[in-house]
Chains A and B, each alone.
Chain A
């Protein structure tokens, strides 16, 4: 039977986590994502599935709890919003270095600093270009509906375990807070400890049984030669991810002569812009990256030199536009339109920006 509910994005994500058989959630409250831990606590997941839900003393502690439990081979996650993610970055770098699978959710708000609790997409650079120290990559998924908030949980864990790599769901306050109809995924049971040992005993710290070598979770290599090999291995893994996991949606691009690029809430706005524009006879299309890393550069490049122009619509000062420009490679003019500080652009504003750009082309 279909399980359809009207839910907030944050709640849909939390419910999906229980249904995905997540073993543990560690978090610290921060607006606009506190509903995740509140929903989980209210659900008594320890009774529903045996899932552990713990309110940590800080985001720093929460991400390190994730490190420990992920190192034990368990399915673990944390969620936060921008200032909290900044605190988690040290731990995220360690998790990437030690190659641990886990899910980190960022429901972005406006910054810098304490900023605002309203929606923003200003953590794009932080999410896709590193953020923490060292050469590492997160797989970054950008939901643009409440449905995707639910669907991306299981998807994230599949990717995380396939590549032993941390995955981030990069949402914004609007997606986290708004209510929409959501088809909830089927529930699957958590792995038993025996199943876990069978699957992950080659690397996870499940206890050194007689006859097996010790398992060590670490990101440390005191010898430069070894650390370079480790870095090369990581880069090779990232290349495989780029080849196999890049995902995007193309909306009305077939006949478009002007293309918008946007993710999350901005992509929702751009869909409206397409509609209004097309009613006025403008052939607008939209490329919506679903993975922000790996970035759908090839998809964008297909249209470079063919359309009149590109606009990158973001709730920030112009971050993803740099990746659009790299993909377009100078073949077509690219501009950015954005609002900041928690302000959300209206479709009318975006359309005007497109019209003004078209006049210059």
Chain B
């Protein structure tokens, strides 16, 4: 018995190509939940790297979190780092390869809780790297626990009655914090739940890599994404919730440029 496989060519009639996947994204299924923003952010970084012609000179660092397998999706040399330690790992790479482009791809738990010291000190040394900070307000990978960025009153598996700021502290605006440091040349907050925002995020990522090319210091690009699984919403509800809540506490736009 033969099984017939439908080829992409049969589905997509070529001729009027309006979009093509960058070669820097591997042809494997993404492991992310449908509607999750991680995939979009991956694509934007890899497009920027391809368009800048720096694929052979770019090394990525992905620590523990939902995006720990980023190296399976991004077709560049990559290192997987321990939880929170990506800025230190990136420092190690950049210091011995000062002419390469080095970036980290970190979640909020990773960057703003367990890795706070590594984040602040890499930024304070003005490490000439790009930090992509993907903020979904929750610990996605481990099943939706409270993150340092979980909003006040927001429910998670470890704040089942909503985050109580009197016992759990306040949602941390770490991008604003590191923007104060002289080593940071560019700090911005973006989102990818609408096409116009996707384009803006891509421009921000490109600017960050250009800063690294020009030896300007640390660039941090925070991207708000939904974690529809962790938030227990449909992707559509999650995007609306993101806009009405996350983007209010964490306003979009440049913080330092």
Contact = CB atoms under 8 A, between A and B. Distances in A.
Interface of A: 23-24, 26, 52, 54, 56-58, 60-62, 64-72, 74, 76, 90-91, 94, 98, 193, 205-210, 214-220, 222
Contacts of B59: 72, 205, 207
B117 A205 contact: no
Interface in B27-64: 55-59, 61
Interface residues of B, number: 31
The list of the 8 closest CB pairs from A to B, nearest first, reads A68-B92, A65-B92, A64-B88, A68-B89, A218-B80, A205-B77, A69-B92, A57-B121
A24 B89 CA distance: 13
Most buried by B among A52, A61, A193, A222: A61
A219 B80 contact: yes
B92 A72 contact: yes
A206 B69 CA distance: 19
Interface stretch (B94-102, B170-178, B200-208): B94-102
B146 interface: no
A76 B121 CA distance: 20
B96 A69 contact: yes
B85 to A, nearest CB: 4
Given A214-B78, A217-B79, A24 B96 contact: yes
B81 A64 contact: yes
B contacts with A: majority SS? helix
Contact of A61 (B61, B97, B117): B117
A53 to B, nearest CB: 10
A207 B77 contact: yes
A87 B76 CA distance: 31
Given A64-B81, A91-B85, 16 more contacts: A24-B92, A60-B88, A61-B121, A64-B82, A65-B88, A67-B85, A68-B90, A68-B93, A76-B92, A207-B59, A207-B77, A208-B55, A208-B76, A215-B78, A216-B80, A219-B80
Contacts of B56: 207-210
Contacts of A206: 77, 97
Contacts of B76: 207-208, 214
Contact of A217 (B78, B85, B96, B100): B78
A33 B121 CA distance: 23
B112 interface: no
Given A24-B96, A61-B118, A71-B79, A216 B71 contact: yes
A216 B95 contact: no
B79 A67 contact: yes
A93 to B, nearest CB: 9
A216 to B, nearest CB: 5
A23 B68 CA distance: 28
A74 B91 CA distance: 13
Given A68-B79, A214-B76, A61 B85 contact: yes
A64 B77 contact: no
8 contacts: A58-B117, A64-B81, A68-B88, A71-B93, A209-B56, A216-B77, A217-B79, A218-B79
B211 interface: no
B75 interface: yes
Nearest to B61: A68
Given A94-B82, A207-B59, A64 B92 contact: yes
